[in-house]
């Protein structure tokens, strides 16, 4: 691997690269494509990606994947993003399959899923680890987004979860936008930094884009700041 001496010059005193060893991203669509790109630029050593879907025409307006990957598995496009933006810094582990609880979970997870029921499965599997880390759950529709962060110190995942059956379906032509997916993806990666660097963060954030409106709940502070 070629080491670029000044690659992290602009943030070397902000982000300790030793903390960026591995992370799991479940769901590699609109939000996941942004998350993988930013984690790679950030300098993670390893990203473990799960998705069993392929890139279709309608995905091109809400993901960061190049047009040339139309018809390819999303994990393949995500691996390309990691390689393209990090060189050999980031190893991307491709899992071209739908995640399930039998596969287990790591302690650091970002979920970018369409299914609320699968989100609950991921949460329950992560919770059963009974060790440190975080679960950052990212959600969006065309003009709004949510971020729910769960750690051993703060866990109100149930409060912000509903079943798939309780969600009113949106028309397929009004589901996703690149700006919504990019905004919540960026917030999610910022939350990774907050958790790893022991910075204050909000356990729940909802954002609306028409007009811009942010709602925040549950400010979590590190003990050294309390």
Residues 199-209 have pLDDT tens digits of 999 999 999 99
Task: State residue 3's pLDDT score.
Answer: 63
Q: Which domains does the chain have, with CATH numbers?
A: 18-225 (3.40.50.720)
**What sign has the CA pseudo-torsion 34, 39, 42, 45?**
negative
Task: State residue 172's pLDDT score.
Answer: 58
> Residue holding tokens 């975080």?
134
Residues 88-132 have pLDDT tens digits of 889 999 999 999 999 999 999 999 999 999 999 999 999 999 889
Report the predicted TM-score, pTM, of the whole model to 2 decimal places. Answer: 0.94
Give the containing element (helix H, strand E) for 215. Answer: strand 212-220
Residue 134 reports pLDDT greater than 90: yes
Residue 168 reports pLDDT greater than 80: no
Nearest Cα to Cα of residue 49 among 66, 62, 63, 35: 35
Contact between 90 and 43 under an 8 Å Cβ cutoff? The reply is yes
């Amino acid at each position: 691997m070629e080491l670029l001496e000044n690659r992290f010059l602009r943030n070397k005193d902000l982000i300790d690269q030793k903390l960026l060893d591995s992370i799991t991203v479940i769901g590699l669509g609109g939000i996941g494509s942004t998350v993988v790109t930013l984690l790679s630029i950030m300098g993670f050593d390893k990203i473990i990606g799960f998705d069993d879907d392929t890139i279709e025409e309608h995905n091109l307006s809400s993901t960061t994947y190049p047009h040339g990957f139309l018809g390819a598995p999303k994990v393949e496009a995500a691996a390309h993003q990691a390689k393209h933006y990090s060189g050999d810094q980031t190893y991307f582990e491709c899992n071209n399959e739908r995640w399930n609880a039998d596969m287990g979970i790591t302690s650091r997870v970002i979920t970018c899923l369409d299914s609320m029921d699968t989100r609950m499965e991921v949460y329950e599997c992560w919770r059963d680890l009974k060790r440190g880390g975080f679960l950052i759950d990212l959600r969006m529709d065309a003009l709004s987004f949510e971020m729910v962060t769960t750690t051993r110190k703060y866990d109100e995942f149930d409060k912000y979860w509903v079943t798939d059956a309780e969600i009113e379906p949106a028309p397929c032509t009004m589901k996703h936008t690149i700006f919504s997916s990019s905004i919540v993806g960026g917030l999610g990666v910022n939350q990774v930094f907050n958790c790893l660097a022991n910075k204050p963060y909000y356990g729940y954030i909802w954002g609306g884009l028409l007009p811009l409106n942010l709602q925040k709940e549950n400010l979590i502070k590190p003990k050294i700041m309390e």
